[in-house]
Structure formats: C-alpha cells, structure tokens
A and B are shown apart, each in its own frame.
Chain A
Amino acid sequence: MSPKTLYDKIWDAHVVDTQDDGTCLLYIDRHLVHEVTSPQAFEGLRMTGRKVRAPEKTIAVPDHNVPTTLDREKGIENEESRIQVEALDKNARDFGINYYPVSDIRQGIVHIVGPEQGWTLPGMTVVCGDSHTATHGAFGALAHGIGTSEVEHVLATQTLIQKKSKNMKVEITGKLRPGVTAKDITLSVIGATGTAGGTGYVIEYCGEAIRDLSMEGRMTVCNMAIEGGARAGLIAPDEKTFEYVKGRPHAPKGAQWEAALTWWKTLKTDEGAHFDKVVTLKGEDIAPVVTWGTSPEDVLPITGAVPSPEDFKGGKVEAAARSIEYMGLTPGQKLTDIKIDTVFIGSCTNGRIEDLRAAAEILKGKKIAAGIRAMVVPGSGLVRAQAEEEGLAQIFIDAGFEWRLAGCSMCLAMNPDQLSPGERCAATSNRNFEGRQGRGGRTHLMSPAMAAAAAVTGHLTDVRDFMLTHA
C-alpha cells in the first residue's frame, strides 16, 4: 500500500460514494451550526418537508450576534439580530439538535465550544457554515467551512459533495524564541505564502515548534489556515491531544475510549507520503508580528516599517496603495510608532484560556494607557469562569479592561462591539479586511501578549522590549 498523508487517511475513512469525475460524497461526523449562516438552510428543509438526518451529530450555538455586555439577559436590542438568534432557538427545538442557548454557561464561539465539550475528536470530519471551522484541525480532524446551501445539504443528508484537495505540508522546525507565539507562527506562514498560497490544498502543520504548542496554540494555528486560502489545516494528534480530549462531556469513555485511542494513534502521515507543496519556516526566525494592511498576508515583524506600494508587484501594487491609505499610514513609518485607540482580546483565534493567561501576564500590576478603550471577550462562558477562578479577570479589570461575556464580538462587529470610522485597533482576531470591525475601522492583527503590551503603551509594541523594560 502506498504511503498516505494524514489528510488521505481521514478522507478515505469518510468516502460514501465516488463519481467518474472524482466528485465524492463525504460523510460528516459533526455539524456545528450558528445563527448567521443557518436560517435559510432550515427554511429550505421546511419548504421541502425534509428532516435533519442526524440531529445527535448536529450542535448549535448562537455567537455572532449576541451582546457581550454584562446586562445581556435584557435581550438583544437590534431587532434583526434578535430575530436571527430566536430563529436558531426555534430551529434547534423543532429539529431536535444539541443546543447551547445564550443563557447556558457553556455558550460561546462555536469553534471554542466544540472542542471544549468534546464534540471535536481526532479523525472526524467536522463542518460548519463558518470559515474558521479550520480551527478543529488542531485535533487531527478534517474540518472546514461551508456555505448555507451546503449547511442544508449536510442537515438533510449528513454528507457533503466534495472533490479532494491536494496535500500541502507546512513545517516549522526548531524552537520559538521568547515572546513568539502560535499567532506569530500562523501569521508568518500567511505572510510567506500569501492569502491564496493554500488555495486548493489541505495543510498539515508539523515540525518541532508545532509539536511544542499546547492544544490552544494548535487551534490558533489551524484557525487561520483559511486566511492562507487552504480548505483546512491539520495537526496529527498526539499525547497532548488525547490528554485534552479525555474526560470531556462528549468524549468516548471506558472501552470505547480505548478503541478510539487505538485508531487515533494511527492518524499520522506515513513515512514517504507525497505532498504536492512544502513550505518550511525556521522557528527561530519567527518574530512577534503585526499586520499593517487590509489583508492577513500584510504581515511584518514588529521591528519593521510600513512598506511602500512600489515594494510590491502586479495587482498588489494597487491593493497595497489602497490599504495604506485606508489604514491612514505613511510608507517608512515605524510600526512601533503607530498609535492605537482600541484593544480587542478575544475571537475563535485567541479567545481561549491560554490566550487570556498570556495577556494577563503582561498586564499584571499595569494600567492601560490614557484614552484607550480595551476589552476582553472570553471565547466561552466556561473560559470566562475559569479565568475568573484563576484571578485573570481581576488583572484585566484592574488594568482598565472591560471584562465581557462570551461571543464573537468585535472580531466581525455584528453585535454592538464595533469600531468607529478611523478608529485603530490592536486585535487578536483573524481578519483585518476593510470595515471588518466596523465601517472605516482600522485593524492590526497580533498575538494576545502583543495586544496587551499595546494597551499599556498606547502604540504597537514589541512585546520582547516590553518584557525587558516593564519587568
């Protein structure tokens, strides 16, 4: 038998049917659902009299529209947002699917709730009407975003019509330097490959620096595979994965745990398996990075300066000029001279407990700079509770941060957490697109530690310098 990649193995274990042109019907083990991309799909089922084929494998949670202010039990003020969340309440009830309503402490961002509750397991196929479904690849699950028509298709059939992607390997060798995190890895990879570098591929991340990451860090890396254009990102499961999964509410128990573990241990790329594309970065070469523009590929080490459009080629010249103007920057300006108005710590990229620990470590005993608006939005109610128990919440509050309830919040600004035109934000989220955090808002992506350091100084800051001068 020819050697297989991890992606090949998971794919092969889920093919229901193959057509002559290579189009496959792929079985879906877990379908995650949120309120924004599902109402039209449920409406489609009702119109055709179809049922949800596997309600026990379908998990819904509202996250995009929910307010994160402490008074949210009052309800959602915006009528359209309220209707969308109410529609999910009703659809979950009518179709009998697993549901975590806003009032449940387990509610949170769908990509944080899935792993936290043990719904996401190695070797599974996981889909959701959300591009950041790639997050679940950290468990060695084949996980990717789908559109609403495909949401309806999965609800009705528990399968997806798919063509297999090509295999791409991204290896991060050696050790990371102090101050460098999973976020810096994933942004640096996108900076190196571009936002279309992964188009047509499923990426397997590997190498010592990836193995050394915690599960939280691995989720951060896989989360942004989509920003590199890849259908999915994968990391082979290992002891850390099994340790994370064990004992979670929906993880297998007893004899089933043992059986699962036996299979999971086979989920790795065979020696000599073929990759269509390979990218290698040295861990020691990766610096703390930030984005300067309006595409996640606009990545530079924090020690750098705003580029000039002439530094680029082809269509990127015009795009870079547009980005620099939109961002209100000047070519040659040092990145550390860029002053910020707002700090957002949260999102499915960096809203887990380890992210909050990293930010709190920087903020301990410090205050945010005058005039800065700063908020922490934990990724789930359980992350929030744990952070309170560990004393992190108090560190944020003492520093001057708002301590919010769980949701997507200012990552995409569908709820009231938005930037005003021209407002500049240090954000731990995943997209710096024009208007992403609010019309005219300006986003710089970075790690939680970098965002926390920026909150204290009031400008983009090299966390390594910060640690030396503020120790």
Chain B
Amino acid sequence: MDKFTTLTGIAAPMPLVNIDTDMIIPKQFLKTIKRSGLGKNLFDEMRYNADGSEIESFVLNQPAYRDAQILVAGDNFGCGSSREHAPWALLDFGIRCVISTSFADIFFNNCFKNGILPIVLPQDAVDVLMGDARKGANARMTVDLEVQTVTSSDGQSFGFEVDAFRKHCLLNGLDDIGLTLEKAAAIDAFESSAAQARPWV
C-alpha cells in the first residue's frame, strides 16, 4: 500500500447524496480477478453513454477535473455493496482522498486498506470545500494527514479526526496482515481458551 502523507491536488465536486458503490463501479466490472485497471470504469454509467461515448456534463469528464485527486461528495458516500472494487477504481483513476459529511461503514474501512483517506467534516466545512472544488483546476486543495487538516485554495483550513491506528498505517503504508501476524501468540491463546469455553464452534 502506498503511503499517504500530504496531498495537494484538484478536487472534483460531487454534491449528490447517497452515492452508492454500484454507481462508483457497476457490477459488470466485478468479474475481474485482479485489483488493477478499474479506473477507466469508475462511475461508468454516470460517465459514459451506452455506446461508450463520454457524457460531457459528468464532472470527471470536464477538462478541469480530469486529473482530480480529491472528491468532495454529498452525504453517505459509498453506501450499499461491500465491493472493494469501489476504492480500487477510485485509486486507479487517481483519487486519494474523499471528503464528505458521512461515509458508509464498509466503504470507509476499505479506503484505509488501499491508501485512500476518507475525511468526515461537518456540513458547513463540506459546503465551503464544495464551493472551492467548483472553482475548477486552478483551485488546489491540500490535505495534510500528519497535522489532520484540509486547506482550501484560498487558505481556509479545517481540522479532521482520524483513528490513531489507521493514521499510523496510512502514514507508513503498513500492511494490516503483517501487523496482526505479530500477534499470533495472542490468537493462539484465544483459540485455546475458546475451544474450552465453546467447543462446538
């Protein structure tokens, strides 16, 4: 997993609420057995016509936002299916950070496993950043994970919360499984005592 430390980039506005993971990556692209290559199909049905041509009005098709690295989105981003193909597609497109008032639980977890930082901010802060994102390619936002701030192109800064453990993993690009396997002795001990207490499991 790539580290996430600071990011300065173009933010695309997606004010629609309840953007679900079926929208982020429709099911026909879940048939892959790989993690890579999903960026071209990110938001596929919102982004392309049935004949494959681009829908001009869709934000990521507009020249100013083609290289966006940040999304500023409406409430409850990432709801629905648990498909990790959603963060894989975002990452493959180049998105490393999503800002919203709220995220669905499984999507939120999946982001951290892939070096994407989901940031929860209050409505008024998201409103300011949404306005900033609407300014286009010249308005670059900066996200600093170490100090936990998002700064708009005109210098307004907002602090955000992140779990200490998740922050540590993102800053250092750490693999969860490796960390957990260091606790193998504790897992062994748990299994032994559980086998006594609940032998039917």
**Chain A residues close to B by CB (< 8 Å):** 13, 16-17, 19-21, 23, 25, 27, 29, 36-37, 39-40, 43-44, 48, 50, 53, 57, 64-65, 78, 80-81, 83-84, 87, 121, 123-124, 129-131, 144-150, 152-153, 156-159, 161, 163, 165, 195-196, 199-200, 226-227, 229-231, 252, 256-257, 259-260, 263, 295, 297, 314-316, 318-319, 322, 412-414, 421, 431, 433-436, 439-440
Contacts and interface: CB of A to CB of B under 8 A. Distances in A.
Interface of B: 15-18, 20, 22-23, 26-28, 30-35, 45, 50, 74-76, 79-84, 87, 102-106, 109-110, 113-114, 163-165, 176-177, 180-181, 183-184, 186-187, 190-191, 194, 197-201
B18 A121 contact: no
Contacts of B197: 13
A326 to B, nearest CB: 11
A435 B26 contact: yes
B17 A159 contact: no
A51 to B, nearest CB: 11
Contact of A195 (B30, B45, B79): B79
A149 to B, nearest CB: 4
A16 B105 contact: no
Given A25-B186, A435-B26, A436-B22, A199 B102 contact: yes
A316 B76 CA distance: 11
A29 B201 contact: yes
A431 B80 contact: yes
A259 B181 contact: no
Given A21-B163, A146-B106, A439-B26, A39 B200 contact: no
Contacts of B79: 195-196, 229
B82 A322 contact: no
B201 A124 contact: yes
Contacts of B87: 147
B163 A163 contact: yes
A129 B200 CA distance: 24
A199 B180 contact: no
B108 to A, nearest CB: 9
Contacts of B17: 314-316, 318-319
A156 B177 contact: yes
B95 to A, nearest CB: 16
B146 to A, nearest CB: 16
Contacts of A256: 199-200
Nearest to A435: B45
Contacts of B74: 315, 319
10 smallest A-B Cβ distances: which pairs? Answer: A252-B200, A149-B113, A80-B31, A147-B84, A147-B110, A315-B17, A39-B33, A145-B82, A21-B164, A148-B84
A433 B80 contact: yes
A158 B16 contact: no
Given A27-B187, A256-B200, A295-B18, A195 B113 contact: no
11 contacts: A16-B190, A40-B84, A150-B110, A153-B176, A196-B18, A199-B103, A229-B104, A257-B200, A316-B17, A434-B45, A435-B22
B33 A83 contact: yes
B22 A434 contact: yes
Given A84-B33, A322-B16, A121 B201 contact: yes
B84 A157 contact: no
Given A81-B31, A315-B15, 19 more contacts: A21-B163, A27-B187, A27-B194, A40-B35, A40-B84, A83-B33, A146-B109, A147-B82, A148-B35, A156-B180, A156-B181, A158-B191, A159-B180, A161-B176, A195-B18, A199-B102, A229-B104, A318-B16, A434-B22
Contacts of A53: 187
Contacts of B31: 36, 65, 78, 80-81, 83-84, 414
A145 B106 contact: yes
B194 A37 contact: no
- Which of A87, A153, A165 lies at the interface centre, i.e. has the most chain B CB atoms within 10 A of its CB? A153
B198 A263 contact: yes
B199 A414 contact: no
Given A80-B31, A260-B198, A199 B106 contact: no
A1 B52 CA distance: 62
Contacts of A40: 33-35, 84
A43 B113 contact: no
A427 B194 CA distance: 42
A150 B113 contact: yes
Contacts of A165: 105
B199 A150 contact: no
B76 A199 contact: yes
